[in-house]
Amino acid sequence: MTEVQTLPIPRGKLEINRKWCKGCSLCADACPKGIITVDELGKIQVRDPEICLGCGQCEAICPDFAIRVEKDEKTG
């Protein structure tokens, strides 16, 4: 798996930098849809990105800047 994973979400894309992730799971706790988990290597992973709200709570709480939500300008 590459260090930076880009996942399409309904309103843009979600970028995860697995190298920067320390596995604190703050993003998973903040996710209102519960789609972010920590894998067996202690890194974040996203289940069901197609139901991501694109709210940015995961990005806002990550102390390591390991997750980023990029909204599509057309869908906002």
- Residue 17 covered by a domain: yes
Tell me if 76 is assigned to some domain: no
Q: How many domains does the chain have?
A: 1
Domain-embedded: residue 20: yes
Whole-prediction pTM value?
0.86
Query: Could you tell me if residue 61 is inside a domain?
Result: yes
Q: Write down the pLDDT at residue 1.
A: 56
- pLDDT tens profile 24-59: 999 999 999 999 999 998 899 999 999 999 999 999
- Domain-embedded: residue 36: yes
Examine residue 37 and state whether it is found in any structural domain, yes or no. Answer: yes
Alpha-carbon dihedral sign for residues 62, 67, 73, 76? negative
The enclosing domain of 40 has a CATH number of 3.30.70.20
**Domain carrying residue 37:** 4-71
Q: Which ranges of 1-76 would DSSP assign to H, the alpha helix?
A: 26-30, 57-61
